[in-house]
Amino acid sequence: MKVGFIGLGAMGSAMASNLLAAGHGVTVWNRSEAATEPLASLGAKVARTADRAVLGDAVCSMLANDQAVRAVFLDSGLLDAMDPGTVHVNHATISVALARELAEAHAARGLEYVAAPVFGRPDAAAAARLNIVAAGKAAAIDKVRPLLDAMGARVWPMGETPERANVVKIAGNFMLAAAIESMAEASALTRAHGVGAADFLEVMTSTLFASPAYQGYGKLIAEERYSPAGFAMPLGLKDVGLALSAGEATRVPMPFAGVLRDNFLDALAHGGEALDWSALALVAARRAGLDKREDV
């Protein structure tokens, strides 16, 4: 299939590579051109301007946040450069509100729009092991199914309304942050009683919580290895903000999300800008004064 790919960060680059590996004709565009080179060497065509990357049957995009998606697709007039019937597959983690606005903007131009946020880090993206949550018209999803299959381990269909995929992604990221905070508070408690985080978390993540999320973040907390960040604090704050906004729009109180928000801010107010979001454990430990107690 002829497909454009817009947004070549760590995630996007890995995903585009897999499209190439699956034999698709891929035209890539990225705001800063340097990121296009590795893909060019794998056979991608490089577009000088974004509007040249949207001329195929489909265009995938993996941009950082609402602002980037808005700038590239809405404010720039890029949608007007796309032929009716083109399918835009948006992999970004964006707000429900923007998802809705995008769905309307595409529909108004006769474009197909599929929200397809992903669960998985860059290593999973490179291994084509992403879990892709997809929502949009069945025909549109069917059309881009070969692309999704080339990038992910599994596609989780969520119906025809694109924003449904986005809320699943947002709720899932909230669950990740809550899992981290849960380990942070629990291990602060055990540490204050003389049981190290590593000893405690080994029990939990080998038994009841033997899952990728807990094992991955549990290891970071046990080893206090928060840098380099796999997913940095400001992104955690941004994502819990998406959950809070989505909850506010639909009147869903989310007390855990409120706690998370405050703890991300606490982390950022204490120099945590570049730390992994699992450093919520540092916040819990600092509040308990564990960083200054000699015996823990």
Which residues form the catalytic set? Answer: 169
Q: Is 64 in the site for a second copy (CB under 8 A)?
A: no
Dig out the tokens for 55 from the structure. Answer: 């001329």
Determine which residue in the list 40, 71, 138, 203 makes contact with a second copy, applying CB under 8 A. 203
The Cα 33–Cα 291 span in angstroms is 44
User: Beta strand pairing status for 152-157 and 45-46?
Assistant: unpaired
Residues 84-113 within binding reach of a second copy (CB under 8 A): 96
For a second copy, give the closer residue by CB, 2 or 293. Answer: 293
Q: Is 119 in the site for a second copy (CB under 8 A)?
A: yes
Beta strand segments in 149-195, E: 152-157
Show Cβ contacts of residue 210 under 8 Å, excluding neighbours closer than 6 positions.
none
Q: How far is the CB of 117 from a second copy (least distance, A)?
A: 11
The Cα 33–Cα 49 span in angstroms is 10
Stretch that binds a second copy, among 17-25, 71-79, 86-94, 162-170 (CB under 8 A): 162-170
Q: Give yes or no for a cis peptide into 228 (omega within 30° of 0).
A: yes
The Cα 286–Cα 179 span in angstroms is 19
Number of residues forming the site for a second copy (CB under 8 A): 77
For a second copy, give the closer residue by CB, 20 or 235. Answer: 235
Q: How far is the CB of 237 from a second copy (least distance, A)?
A: 8
Tell me the per-residue interface mask from 206 to 245 with a second copy, x by CB under 8 A, - otherwise. -xxxxxxxx----------------------x---x-xx-
For a second copy, give the closer residue by CB, 25 or 241. Answer: 241
The Cα 99–Cα 110 span in angstroms is 17
Dig out the tokens for 5 from the structure. Answer: 């790919």
Determine which residue in the list 55, 97, 171, 198 makes contact with a second copy, applying CB under 8 A. 171
